[in-house]
Structure 1
Amino acid sequence: MFCNVSVYPPSIKMLQLGFNAFTDVVGPETGSCYSVLQVVDLQQNRIRGGFPLWLTRISSLTMLDVSGNLFSGNIPAEIGKMSRLEELRMANNSFSGVIPVEIEQCSSLSVLNLEGNQFSGEIPVFLGDIRGLKSLTLAGNLFTGSLPGSFHNLSELETLNLRHNNLSGSLPEELMGMSNLTTLDLSENKFSGNIPASIGNLSRLMVFNLSGNAFSGRLPASLGNLLKLTTLDLSKQNLSGELPFELAGLPNLQVIALQENKLSGDVPEGFSSLMGLRYLNLSFNGFFGEIPATFGFLHSLVVLSLSDNRISGLIPPELGNCSDLEVLELRSNSLTGHMPADLSHLSNLNVLDLGINNLTGELPEEVSKCSLLKSLLVDANHLSGSIPDSLSNLSNLTVLDLSSNNLSGEIPANLTGISGLVYFNVSSNNLDGEIPVLLGSRFNDPSAFANNQDLCGKPLGRKCENITDKNRRKRLIMLIVIVASGASLLALCCCFYIFSLLRWRKKLKEGAAAEKKHSPARASSRTSGGRGSTDNGGPKLVMFNNKITLAETAEATRQFDEENVLSRTRYGLVFKACYNDGMVLSIRRLPDGSLDENIFRKEAEFLGKVKHRNLTVLRGYYAGSPDLRLLVFDYMPNGNLATLLQEASHQDGHVLNWPMRHLIALGIARGLSFLHTSNMVHGDLKPQNVLFDADFEAHLSDFGLDRLTVPTPAEASSSTTSVGTLGYVSPEAVLTGETTKESDVYSFGIVLLELLTGKRPLMFTQDEDIVKWVKKQLQKGQITELLEPGLLELDPESSEWEEFLLGVKVGLLCTAPDPLDRPTMSDIVFMLEGCRVGPDIPSSADPTSQPSPA
């Protein structure tokens, strides 16, 4: 296959065998290798052993991709014989040693990706002599030392990714002369010193990431010269001082991540002019002053985190104008006043964290209008009044923490109707009455209700009968006191009246007038309060809600028996786990690896916080020995989109009508949009990764797992393990080996066209793909050729027909050849919501829900 063995001249120029389960590459029987191969793609298989030397004899190769396999050992010096090689991708294997100097002989190289291996030593100086390089990725290795000065020779370099190594020293001035750089990622290393002022020379820079280093000093004002900058991540450093006002003049800035530094000064009001800003995180710094009311002009803002600063004043009601806001975190500041009712205008809000401030007043009932709210935390404030019944309208709520306030009255019984609630805490208030039975059985930890003197019922140890008797005695004593006080006051009034009457008669005799005097009455009241503490421990099988053990999980999967396998992916096997109490979960057993346990826990905890209605949510994990790493997810009983489309093709499509297809597309779009706003990339969107709950609502799966499945600690935070699946991956991702938000949008467009037309991308020839086919039918006016059999009943005069055509146009927009011409996922959600045909189907596998039944 690789080398010609027939009497005919060789003709195969491109060989793509990626994303299979191959375990070996069989070489030629002889030393000769006659071939015209130009592209060999073996990525994402299970090929192990050393690098096949005979591949270096295929001198015609221009692209070689062996990423995502189990290769080990050194890269052979013979790699230098491949003089025509333009792209070499060897990411995410177990190659070790040093990069051979012979690779310098591959003078045509434009892409070199060695990410996620075990290369060590200093970065070779000779890499600076491969002057045609446009993309150099050495992330996730064990490189030490400083950056080579020879890098200044790489004048054509556009992407430099060295994240997650052990590099140190300061940023060399030579690096600042690489004027074509668009992406510079040096995060998670040990660089130190100041950020040089000459950084402003990189005028084409779009992504600048230095997070997780030890840089100190002030931010240079020259950052204001980076007019194309979209992402600025300088988080987790020792940066100090005030922010330069020039940052507010960067027109394309979308992400500002400056958390966990020592920055100070007023919260920058100048950021209000960044109309495209979507993510602003200034948490864990020393900012003070007030939150600028002009932040209300940031209508594109999705995440605003100002927690753990020294910010004071009121929460500006103008924040209610940030219509796209999904996360608002203002915890641990010195904010005062009421919680503004205007926040109820934030219809997309998922997380509202106002805990540990000095807020007062009552919890506004208007907050129930934030129907997408999943996490509401207003603990440790001075809120008073009762808990509003209207909170039960927050059907997506997962976390409700009202602890350490001055709330009174009873706990509303209708809170039990919030099916997805997984964390509930009303401790240290003045609540009374009986805990709703269903609420007490769901949250059976007494600490969630502790320090409420007159609260009774399960899980507290106080019986409501005793509390009732106690309250009855209190009321009786109070009644007796009131009656006795009234009788004494009446007797006093009578005595006073008689005395006054006698005095009046006496004065009447003397011809004097009598006066009557009145005595004011006073009332008194009392209040009481308290505080409580909670504690929790951690079993090795860490569950974010339910408490199950590893032994129960092994029993529920029949010791991970083959019969319980639901699916097989490159991220391991997925098992169905049926527990004795009737609960059903999905257990993913990750491939064997040596990822450090602490790093694995950290990454799993991070992934567990990524929650959205249209994403599969991590419920727990097991971080034991490297050969047994488990992830716990909700069980999705209705399979995946690939299976559903296949069933539809065999049943004339009637299992998928237009409203259902539209809701599936909208669910996928919403889930992917949330990932993008969380600064995450899916990287492999395809129908197999779209799962359905009991109500056939779509949930994206297999995102973020590359952070948990790399085989070595150096690869733990590798940002890219593949460039997707053939047929769904974007052209630029195939060329660069890097997945981006734009490549995700392309993959979504292919999935959307497949969902609408029923045509699988791999059905077409090399000269025609699904995008070209759809455009051809539109140009010919043969619209009915696009319709899946289940959609043939659509009336060309109906609104559903127009909605279908709009969906097709959205798919074509997503697959534009130029990534910059593609819409963002938030724009796509907006467009798909514009062709809504009916209300959303309620979900039983919402990230806030209990596991689906078997």
Structure 2
Amino acid sequence: MGVMLKTKAKSLLGMFFAFLVLSPVLTRSVTPSLNDDVLGLIVFKADIRDPNQKLVSWNEDDDSPCNWFGVKCNPRSNRVTELTLDGLSLSGRIGRGLLQLKLLRKLSLSSNNLTGNISPNLAKLENLRIIDLSSNSLSGSIPDDFFKQCGSLREISLAKNMFSGKIPSSLSLCSTLATINLSSNRFSGPLPSGIWGLNALRSLDLSDNLLDGEIPKGVESLNNLRLINLSKNRFSGFVPDGIGSCLLLRTIDFSENSFSGNLPETMRKLTLCTLMNMRKNSFSGEVPNWIGEMKSLDTLDLSGNKFSGGVPVSIGNLQLLKVLNFSANELTGSLPESMTNCASLVALDFSQNLIKGDLPQWIFDSSLKKVSLSEKKVLARMNGPFASSMGNSFEKLQVLDLSHNQFSGEIASSILVLSSLQQLNLSRNTLVGSIPVTVGELKALNVLDLSENWLNGSIPVEISGAYSLKELRLEGNFLAGKIPTSIENCSSLTTLVLSKNNLTGPIPAAVAKLTNLQNVDLSFNGLAGSLPKQLANLVHLVSFNISHNHLQGELPAGVFFNTISPSSVSGNPSLCGSAANKSCPAVLPKPIVLNPNSSSDSTPGAVPPTLGHKRIILSISALIAIGAAAVIVVGVIAITVLNLRVRSSSSRSAAALTLSAGDDYSQSPTTDANSGKLVMFSGDPDFSTGAHALLNKDCELGRGGFGAVYRTALRDGRSVAIKKLTVSSLVKSQEEFEREVKKLGKVRHPNLVALDGYYWTQSLQLLIYEFVSGGSLYKHLHEKSSGNHLSWNERFNVILGTAKSLAHLHQSNIIHYNIKSSNVLIDDSGEPKVGDYGLARLLPMLDRYVLSSKIQSALGYMAPEFACRTVKITEKCDVYGFGVLVLEIVTGKRPVEYMEDDVVVLCDMVRGALEEGRVEECVDARLQGKFPVEEAIPVMKLGLICTSQVPSNRPDMGEVVNILELIRCPSEGQEELG
């Protein structure tokens, strides 16, 4: 049956290629065969992988494809007119089969995993009107003549791919184009001037690329343009005057470029424009008064520029305005009273300017939901207009940021009218008096920041009424009294910062009931007494600073407090424990830690002479550590002994490989010690160099926990990597071994080293992988001989690609177990490929201590649950190893480094730097500042979250991928209004 299907498929392919050759000489009047579209789609299907079996209905025996999934036909001709296969996880490449669909009008393959280049002939389908290949992994440059014969093409979207090079100049020949979306790629160079000749163009999105230079003149010819988005590029110069002639424009987004000069006055004619975003450029001069003539605006963002002068009075004419952001400029004067006419305003941001004066009355009478006036140097008293002028409309306010101003006076109790308030930031002012008890009436409040004021009195017990609080920041005041036990009702708290006050009394056990706490800072107070032991139950803790108090007694038990930074507990003379560098009464001395780099000749385990004749008794934790080490050593010795038993037979089995490698695995059932079974999943030819390469040190690439890796070649000249397993006696039976290997062979992903086959004898097992020539990530990070150091973009791509590969493994129910930089390879294009995945599946159920010593041999990557028999090993151990790897990539440091007098654990070092506000210093110095801080710091924080001591606190790898993509490309949903 299989032979018949193969023969039939070859016949169909032969017919298809014969058609391609003969079609030019066929008579034009001959009606096309209905099978032409069937053949084209079958050939297209042969080039892609369909993991969800969505294309199972595509049957080559059908006379017509019109009932196939994703296919639509013309009811009269029964020819294919639409092919829509969005979001199906398809991978592979877009082959030539689509060129046979001569009447195709719409091609949509968005949100898949397609790779490779785009076919240069695709745009030549003369009936094609819509091409949507967005959100894939297509790459390479687009030929300059790609659009030379674009026919009636109306819409093209190549967004969110990896295309590079220049935008083809032939694009200007597509006179019928209405929509162009090339956003989120790597296109570079200037904008082709011919693009302004596309008179039918309604939407142009070239955002998030590497385009540069000035905007060419001629934009005024785009009379039908509704949307233009050039944001997140490297454009410079002035905005052309011609933009004002595009009278139908609804959306203008030139943000995050290097535009300079003034806004062109011609823009005053854009009375239909609803969104204008010019943030993060270098525009200067005054905000033009004519801006008030753009009466359709609902979003105006001029933040992050160099605008000066006053806020124009004409802003009051924008009655439809909903979002106004003038932050981070050099504006002066006061907010104009005319803004009371902006009745639709919901978000207002004038932070980081030089505006002075009292808060205008209209703010309190508006329907605003978000007000940010931080760093304005506003002069006002809180018990003045703020307290007395809150109308009913102010109840809608959700975010109020008045931080870093000169507000004085007390916080009025009438603040309770802000019933919808979610964030209140009054930090860095000169507010006095006590915190009003009515703050407990703010049931929706998530963030309360009153830090760095002159507040006194105590923390009100009534604060427990604000049960939605997630962040409470009261540091840098003169608060006294005890921490109220009622705070336990704020069960959502993740951040509690009460440092630099005059608080006294003990830390209440109620704090330990706040199980979501991540960051706690109670430093520089007068707190006394012992620490509640229940604090050990705070499993989400990232930082806990109690330094410079009068606390005493022993630190709580648990993984977090055993590894807490000494600086977080310093300044408490009566506090004891390992982090406090002081032994507690009845607590035995810490075990001695030997530095492996030390050159001392002293005998390990010898009693230091300073101890005289005192008896050294090891602590319970030391005994547990020694016991665990003993188990690991016994396991390693056992494996070594078992390996020695088969070493002598390995050579004989390897020699057998040369004799039987050419046999088809379905016809070679022999598995005795003198002959082997070779299986190549792709049907590739066998080895050309023979088994002697496996015993040749010159061909050895490296050694790992499971065995040595060698390079050899197939008969077609292609190099492969062969892993010779050194755990032969521990490998499962042949049947189980082959079943597991075949499962691993089916796992395919662009960021995984492909397993191409295997070789089996009773005493020798080989795994055959694709050969990756770029070397390991470890070499690129830590070996000077590796040449150029990785750039930030290269490092980020390695992190993202590794995360995607692990997410794919976990979706296939495979745990890697062995994440480390030496198991991440870099190919010639800089893409990461993860190897050594799932090898633990080939072994029987070993004791986890033995398993960890074998596959987690690289110190620092092993998740803490390996040390606890009662905790289940899950995919979260991969997440932990990935988190360590992320920190290693960003910092360029090994997971554990031995100094002259210390042992530095990378996770602890970065976590300590984060607590002290100097995490940016941890980035690899070799990058020399050439990295975006807004990406590097969130990536390091993500790495710390992944290395949480509790598995359930670590995100899934799918969530990690989403977070990384958000860090690289923050979403800014914008709607096109036609």
TM-score bracket for the superposition, by shorter chain length: 0.5 to 0.7
Residue correspondence of structure 1 range 286-325 to structure 2 within 5 A: 286-291=406-411, 293-325=413-445
Q: What is the Cα deviation at residue 58 of structure 1?
A: 2.0
Answering whether residue 426 of structure 2 is matched by residue 344 of structure 1, we say: no
Q: What is the Cα deviation at residue 173 of structure 1?
A: 3.4
Answering whether residue 174 of structure 2 is matched by residue 60 of structure 1, we say: no
Counterpart residue number, 2:862: 579
Residue correspondence of structure 1 range 404-483 to structure 2 within 5 A: 404-438=524-558, 441-465=561-585
- Output one character per residue of 1:253-284: Cα deviation in whole Å (capped at 9) or x when no partner: 44344443341223673677444433333434
Residue correspondence of structure 1 range 173-572 to structure 2 within 5 A: 173-244=265-336, 250-262=342-354, 263=376, 264-266=378-380, 269=386, 273-291=393-411, 293-438=413-558, 441-465=561-585, 554=820, 561-564=834-837
Secondary structure at the aligned position of 2:567 is classed as helix
Counterpart CA distance in 2 for 1:698 and 1:120 is 35
Secondary structure at the aligned position of 1:335 is classed as coil
Counterpart CA distance in 2 for 1:248 and 1:296 is 24
Counterpart CA distance in 2 for 1:410 and 1:82 is 76
- Among all aligned residue pairs of Structure 1 and Structure 2, give the percentage whose two residues are the same amino acid: 29
Secondary structure at the aligned position of 1:336 is classed as coil
- TM-score, scaled to structure 2: 0.51
Aligned amino acid, residue 342 of structure 1: E
Secondary structure at the aligned position of 1:54 is classed as coil
Counterpart residue number, 1:705: 964
Counterpart residue number, 2:82: none
Aligned amino acid, residue 420 of structure 2: S
Name the CA shift for 1:445/1:77 in 2 (closer, same or farther; >3 Å): closer
- Output one character per residue of 1:602-635: Cα deviation in whole Å (capped at 9) or x when no partner: 32424677xxxxxxxx234xxxxxxxxxx95779
Aligned amino acid, residue 24 of structure 1: N
- Output one character per residue of 1:622-665: Cα deviation in whole Å (capped at 9) or x when no partner: xxxxxxxxx9577998xxxxxxxxxxxxxxxxxxxxxxxxxxxx
Q: Does the aligned pair in 2 maintain the 1:706–1:719 contact within 8 Å?
A: no
- TM-score, scaled to structure 1: 0.58
Q: What is the Cα deviation at residue 599 of structure 1?
A: 4.1
Counterpart CA distance in 2 for 1:274 and 1:598 is 45
Q: What is the Cα deviation at residue 117 of structure 1?
A: 1.8
Q: Does the aligned pair in 2 maintain the 1:248–1:271 contact within 8 Å?
A: no
Answering whether residue 938 of structure 2 is matched by residue 603 of structure 1, we say: no
Counterpart CA distance in 1 for 2:209 and 2:838 is 30
Q: Does the aligned pair in 1 maintain the 2:241–2:266 contact within 8 Å?
A: yes
Match of 1:123 among 215, 227, 231: 215
Secondary structure at the aligned position of 1:400 is classed as strand
Match of 2:118 among 9, 12, 25: 25
Residue correspondence of structure 1 range 746-825 to structure 2 within 5 A: none
Residue correspondence of structure 1 range 633-782 to structure 2 within 5 A: 702-706=961-965, 708-709=967-968, 719=971
Match of 1:50 among 115, 138, 141: 141
Secondary structure at the aligned position of 2:291 is classed as helix
Name the CA shift for 1:81/1:182 in 2 (closer, same or farther; >3 Å): same
Secondary structure at the aligned position of 1:265 is classed as coil
Secondary structure at the aligned position of 2:147 is classed as helix
Name the CA shift for 1:148/1:411 in 2 (closer, same or farther; >3 Å): same
Q: What is the Cα deviation at residue 578 of structure 1?
A: 5.5
Counterpart CA distance in 2 for 1:699 and 1:294 is 46
Name the CA shift for 1:251/1:15 in 2 (closer, same or farther; >3 Å): same
Bigger CA drift: 131-140 or 50-59?
Answer: 50-59
Counterpart CA distance in 1 for 2:950 and 2:103 is 46
Secondary structure at the aligned position of 2:585 is classed as helix
Secondary structure at the aligned position of 1:143 is classed as strand
Counterpart CA distance in 2 for 1:432 and 1:249 is 60
Answering whether residue 106 of structure 2 is matched by residue 14 of structure 1, we say: yes
Secondary structure at the aligned position of 1:334 is classed as coil
Name the CA shift for 1:604/1:42 in 2 (closer, same or farther; >3 Å): same
Aligned amino acid, residue 705 of structure 1: L
Q: Does the aligned pair in 1 maintain the 2:820–2:861 contact within 8 Å?
A: no
Bigger CA drift: 408-417 or 200-209?
Answer: 200-209
Counterpart CA distance in 1 for 2:535 and 2:949 is 25
Counterpart residue number, 1:531: none
Q: Does the aligned pair in 2 maintain the 1:215–1:238 contact within 8 Å?
A: yes
Q: Does the aligned pair in 1 maintain the 2:562–2:579 contact within 8 Å?
A: no
Counterpart CA distance in 1 for 2:580 and 2:948 is 30
Counterpart CA distance in 2 for 1:140 and 1:271 is 40
- Output one character per residue of 1:227-269: Cα deviation in whole Å (capped at 9) or x when no partner: 4333333333333454445657645444344443341223673
Aligned amino acid, residue 114 of structure 2: A
Q: What is the Cα deviation at residue 89 of structure 1?
A: 0.5
Q: What is the Cα deviation at residue 312 of structure 1?
A: 3.7
Q: What is the Cα deviation at residue 397 of structure 1?
A: 0.6
Residue correspondence of structure 1 range 132-151 to structure 2 within 5 A: 132-151=224-243
Counterpart CA distance in 1 for 2:955 and 2:259 is 48
Secondary structure at the aligned position of 1:328 is classed as strand
Q: Does the aligned pair in 2 maintain the 1:446–1:459 contact within 8 Å?
A: yes
Match of 1:81 among 173, 179, 201: 173
Q: What is the Cα deviation at residue 178 of structure 1?
A: 2.0
- Output one character per residue of 1:302-355: Cα deviation in whole Å (capped at 9) or x when no partner: 222333334444333333333222222222233333223333222222111111
Counterpart CA distance in 1 for 2:309 and 2:150 is 52
Secondary structure at the aligned position of 1:296 is classed as helix
Counterpart CA distance in 2 for 1:437 and 1:235 is 47
Secondary structure at the aligned position of 1:232 is classed as strand
Counterpart CA distance in 1 for 2:822 and 2:496 is 34
Q: Does the aligned pair in 2 maintain the 1:603–1:707 contact within 8 Å?
A: no
Counterpart CA distance in 2 for 1:694 and 1:461 is 29
- Output one character per residue of 1:191-243: Cα deviation in whole Å (capped at 9) or x when no partner: 22333344333333222222222233443454444343333333333334544
Q: What is the Cα deviation at residue 44 of structure 1?
A: 2.6
Counterpart CA distance in 2 for 1:93 and 1:76 is 14
Secondary structure at the aligned position of 1:136 is classed as strand
Q: What is the Cα deviation at residue 163 of structure 1?
A: 1.1
- Output one character per residue of 1:738-793: Cα deviation in whole Å (capped at 9) or x when no partner: xxxxxxxxxxxxxxxxxxxxxxxxxxxxxxxxxxxxxxxxxxxxxxxxxxxxxxxx
Aligned amino acid, residue 129 of structure 2: Q
Q: Does the aligned pair in 1 maintain the 2:180–2:205 contact within 8 Å?
A: yes
Q: What is the Cα deviation at residue 68 of structure 1?
A: 2.1
In structure 1, list runs of 5 or more residues that go unmatched.
Answer: 469-538, 543-551, 567-574, 610-617, 621-630, 638-692, 710-716, 724-731, 738-854
In structure 2, list runs of 5 or more residues that go unmatched.
Answer: 1-15, 24-30, 33-78, 80-101, 355-375, 589-781, 783-791, 797-817, 826-832, 840-855, 867-876, 891-925
Name the CA shift for 1:219/1:706 in 2 (closer, same or farther; >3 Å): farther
Counterpart CA distance in 2 for 1:85 and 1:384 is 71
Counterpart CA distance in 2 for 1:22 and 1:333 is 56
Secondary structure at the aligned position of 1:307 is classed as coil
Aligned amino acid, residue 194 of structure 1: E
Name the CA shift for 1:696/1:351 in 2 (closer, same or farther; >3 Å): closer
Q: Does the aligned pair in 2 maintain the 1:427–1:449 contact within 8 Å?
A: yes
Q: Does the aligned pair in 2 maintain the 1:256–1:280 contact within 8 Å?
A: no
Secondary structure at the aligned position of 1:465 is classed as coil
Q: Does the aligned pair in 2 maintain the 1:111–1:736 contact within 8 Å?
A: no
- Output one character per residue of 1:683-712: Cα deviation in whole Å (capped at 9) or x when no partner: xxxxxxxxxx59999995544534654xxx
- Output one character per residue of 1:549-576: Cα deviation in whole Å (capped at 9) or x when no partner: xxx962595766335499xxxxxxxx99
